[in-house]
């Protein structure tokens, strides 16, 4: 094992898969000569050349469509959005082409394509550049949605995504790129649809993904001082969802708090609440509680941004509420 940053783990995953399979290529805004807007693709142009690391114009609809076409004829594109906020310009391409063409062709066409880039709030990026979009894409049959929280998960899941024959939405936490973690020297992959227990506990299950995992872990550490043992569960993929792992954890702890950065209405957490109620109702000692971002566009002011985002204090309060403690 060695320590890598989240961005280094992603870069290593892409480089290894490009070495392994000459059909894999990277395309997007500033991925080549600028080494990536967040330096995830640093050095890949020098290593693989302009044929396989392709800088594009600022035209998400266009280069997403080119990537989908390339996947249809047998290549395996990685399409980088500078931010997932910009993917909304290409929403029609992802939803009406990438997600549906395999189904509409009766399986004659495969769509091995990965759309990746940073998502969610960072620091003072305001209303148009701070959005959480996994809910928009998890709603769509035909897309797989991945939200890694650690360097280990980022590398293993991205390698699996690149090898998958279906279109993948791979959302990287924008504030996680510099976070360090242990990554094996040897090659490994992580199966899509398999969650992970980040911390064992017996009193309450917290379900969180992407950077909210780290908020949940901080809350768990704080709650441990009060003798509350929290289990932190990271689904890692929103679709497909590891429902069996979630239900197993909730049946053990009998209580659940879901922490998600996105807006509350129609969020992924709402679907989780339904599945927990449907699959573990008789085990619950309290209703499942959600901690979400506030139901407003993201403000620019630093103090207001802090108020809008889920934080440790909100999670601690939610956990104590399901334990009926003040």
Helix or strand run (H / E) with residue 2: strand 2-5
**200 CB-near residues (< 8 Å, 6+ apart):** 229, 231
Helix intervals (H) in 25-145: 44-48, 60-72, 91-92, 101-104, 134-138
* Integer Cα distance of 323 and 325 in angstroms: 5
Cα separation, 118 vs 66, whole angstroms: 21
The catalytic residue among 29, 60, 80, 260 is: 60
Q: Is 315 helix (H, G, I), strand (E, B) or coil?
A: helix
- The half-sphere exposure of 45 on its side-chain side, counting CA atoms within 13 A, is 16
> Is 214 marked active-site?
no
User: Pick from 265, 239, 267: which is nearest to 135 by CA?
Assistant: 267
Are 81 and 117 in contact, with CB atoms under 8 Å apart? Answer: yes
CA-to-CA separations, 242 to 98, 236, 248, in angstroms, rounded: 23, 9, 10
Active site residue 129: yes
Check 16, 30, 129, 229 and give the catalytic one.
129
Catalytic residues: 60, 129
């Amino acid at each position: 094992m060695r320590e890598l940053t989240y961005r280094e783990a992603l870069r290593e995953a892409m480089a290894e898969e490009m070495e392994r399979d000459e059909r894999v290529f990277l395309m997007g805004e500033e991925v080549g000569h600028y080494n990536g807007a967040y330096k995830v693709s640093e050095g890949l142009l020098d290593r693989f050349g302009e044929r396989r690391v392709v800088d594009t114009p600022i035209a998400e609809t266009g280069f997403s469509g080119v990537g989908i076409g390339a996947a249809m004829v047998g290549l395996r594109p990685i399409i980088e959005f500078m931010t997932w906020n910009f993917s909304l310009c290409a929403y029609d391409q992802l939803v009406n082409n990438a997600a549906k063409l395999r189904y509409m062709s009766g399986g004659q066409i495969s769509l091995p394509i990965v759309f990746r880039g940073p998502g969610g709030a960072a620091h003072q990026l305001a209303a148009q550049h701070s959005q959480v979009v996994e809910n928009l894409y998890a709603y769509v049959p035909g897309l797989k949605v991945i939200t890694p929280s650690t360097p280990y998960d980022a590398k293993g899941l991205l390698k699996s995504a690149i090898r998958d024959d279906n279109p993948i939405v791979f959302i990287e936490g924008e504030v996680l790129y510099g976070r360090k973690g242990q990554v094996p020297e040897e090659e490994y992959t992580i199966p899509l649809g398999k969650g992970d227990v980040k911390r064992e506990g017996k009193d309450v299950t917290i379900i969180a993904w992407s950077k909210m995992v780290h908020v949940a872990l901080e809350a768990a550490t704080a709650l441990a001082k009060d003798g509350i043992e929290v289990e932190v569960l990271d689904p890692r993929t929103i679709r497909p969802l590891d429902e069996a792992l979630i239900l197993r954890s909730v049946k053990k702890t009998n209580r659940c708090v879901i922490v998600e950065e996105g807006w509350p209405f129609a969020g992924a957490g709402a679907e989780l609440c339904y599945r927990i109620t449907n699959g573990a109702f008789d085990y619950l000692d309290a209703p499942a509680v959600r901690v979400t971002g506030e139901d407003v566009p993201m403000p620019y002011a630093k103090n207001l941004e802090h108020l809008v985002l889920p934080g440790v204090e909100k999670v601690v309060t939610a956990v104590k509420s399901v334990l009926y403690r003040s």
